[in-house]
Amino acid sequence: MLTTMASHRTSRWLIYIGLTAVVIFWGLNVVAMKAAFVHWNPLGFTGLRFLAMVPLAIGIARMRGESLRIERRDLPALLVCAGCGYGVYQYFYVIGLAHTTAFASALLSSLAPIFTLMLAVALGHERSRTGRWIGAAIALFGVAVFEGAFAGRAAIRLGDALTIAAAAIFAGYNIFASRLLQRYSPTSLIAITLTLGAVMIAPGGVWGFAHQNFARLTSFDWLLLLYAVIFPMVIGYQLWSWGISKIGAGPTSIFNFAVPIVAGLAGVAFLRMPITSYEITGATICIAGMAAAQLLARFSLTSLWTQLVVPVER
C-alpha cells in the first residue's frame, strides 16, 4: 500500500512537472514570436507557421488512430470554431502582439475564459454563479490598472485593444468546441479546425510573404519559427491533454494563469522589456481575479443567502 501511495505521489509530481513545462513553452512562445517580428512580417510568419503545423496536427491524429471525418451538419459550427480559434483570431492576436509587449499580450489574451463566461451566459448555455462574476470583475479591474487608468496614463495601446478583441473572439471557439467535443475527440477537433483555420490565414500569409524581406532573416529567426511550431503545438498540447486526462480540466487550467508571469519574466530577460509598477500591480490583480473565477466557480450569493434565511431540511 505504501508503494502504491508513493507511486501515486511520484506520478502526480510528474504531471505537475509536465504542466509546468507547458506553461514555460507557452510563455516563451509569446516572447519568441515578439522577437521574431523584428525581422519577420507577422502575417508571413503566421502563415508559414500554420503551413507547418497542419501536417503535424493531422499526423498526430492519424498516429492516435483518430478519425478526421467531418459530418455535414457540423460544418457550419466547425467553420465558426476554426475562425474563432485560429483563422480570424490569429489576425487580431498576431497584429496585436506586433504592437504591444509580450507581457501585455500574454496577460490580455488569457482573458478568454472571462469572455467565454460572458458569452455562455448571454447565449443561455449556462447559469453562472456569483463567484465567477466576482472573479471576472476583479480581473477586469486588474486590466484597468494594468492600462494605467489609476496612474494618470490611461491610453490603451492599439496592440492591447487588438489582443483583448482576440481574447473575446477566442471565446467563440470555447463555446462551439464544447459542443463539438461531444462528437469529435480533442485531437481530431484540433486537426480539423487548425486545417480550416489555416485556409483562412492563407490570404494574410501570402500578403505577408509578398512584403517579407528574406535577406534580413538570420538562422536565429528560423529557429524562432521552428520553436513556435514544435514546442507550443506538438509538445505543449499533448502534455496539456495528458494533464487533463490525469487530474481533470479544473486543476489543469490553474497552471494557465502562470503563462503571463513566464512571458513577463522572459520578456524582461531576453527582450529588455520595460515593466512599470502599475503594470505589475494590474497583472497581479488580473491573474488573481481569473484564478478566483475558477476557484469560486461553485460559490453563489443567492444560494448562500437562501441557506442563511431558509431552514435547512434534514
Q: Give the tens place of pLDDT for each residue, 284-308.
A: 998 888 888 777 765 544 443 333 3
Contacts of 105 (CB under 8 A, 6+ apart): 30, 34, 93, 96, 97, 159, 163, 263
Look at 140 and 88; give whichever has higher pLDDT: 88
The answer to whether residue 54 scores a pLDDT higher than 80 is: yes
**φ/ψ (deg, to 5) at 121:** -70, -40
In this prediction, what percent of the chain has a pLDDT beyond 70? 87
Confirm whether 251 is domain-assigned.
yes
Confidence of residue 83 (pLDDT cuts 50, 70, 90): very high
Inter-residue contact 237 to 23 (CB < 8 Å)? no
Taking the C-alpha atoms of residue 298 and residue 86, their distance in angstroms, rounded to an integer, is: 31
List Cα–Cα distances, 134 to 65, 195, 209, 301, in angstroms. 43, 37, 45, 10
Q: At what angle do helices 130-146 and 112-122 cross, to 10 degrees?
A: 130
Taking the C-alpha atoms of residue 125 and residue 263, their distance in angstroms, rounded to an integer, is: 33
Confirm whether 310 is domain-assigned.
no
Confirm whether 250 is domain-assigned.
yes
Inter-residue contact 103 to 283 (CB < 8 Å)? yes
User: Please, what is the average pLDDT of the chain?
Assistant: 85
The answer to whether residue 99 scores a pLDDT higher than 60 is: yes
Confirm whether 146 is domain-assigned.
yes
In this prediction, what percent of the chain has a pLDDT beyond 90? 46
Confirm whether 312 is domain-assigned.
no
Taking the C-alpha atoms of residue 56 and residue 229, their distance in angstroms, rounded to an integer, is: 9
Model pLDDT, residue 46? 97
The answer to whether residue 131 scores a pLDDT higher than 90 is: no
Confirm whether 145 is domain-assigned.
yes
Model pLDDT, residue 308? 34
Model pLDDT, residue 50? 96
Residue type, 242: W
Domain of residue 103, residue span: 13-299
pLDDT digits (tens, 9 = 90+) for 141-191: 888 888 776 655 656 789 999 999 999 999 888 888 888 888 888 889 989
Question: What is the pTM (predicted TM-score) of this model?
Answer: 0.85
Strands (E), the chain: none
The answer to whether residue 309 scores a pLDDT higher than 50 is: no
Average pLDDT (180-203) is: 92
pLDDT digits (tens, 9 = 90+) for 108-128: 998 888 888 888 888 877 676
Model pLDDT, residue 12? 80
Taking the C-alpha atoms of residue 90 and residue 96, their distance in angstroms, rounded to an integer, is: 9
What is the DSSP secondary structure assignment for residue 100, as one 8-state letter? S
Number of domains in the chain: 1
Average pLDDT (92-107) is: 94
Model pLDDT, residue 175? 86
Q: Which of 6-15, 79-88, 131-140, 260-269 has the lowest mean pLDDT?
A: 6-15
Average pLDDT (1-21) is: 72
Average pLDDT (53-66) is: 93
Confirm whether 4 is domain-assigned.
no
Average pLDDT (5-14) is: 67
Average pLDDT (186-212) is: 94
Q: Using alpha carbons, select from 14, 5, 7, 1 the residue that is nearest to residue 246.
A: 14
Confirm whether 212 is domain-assigned.
yes
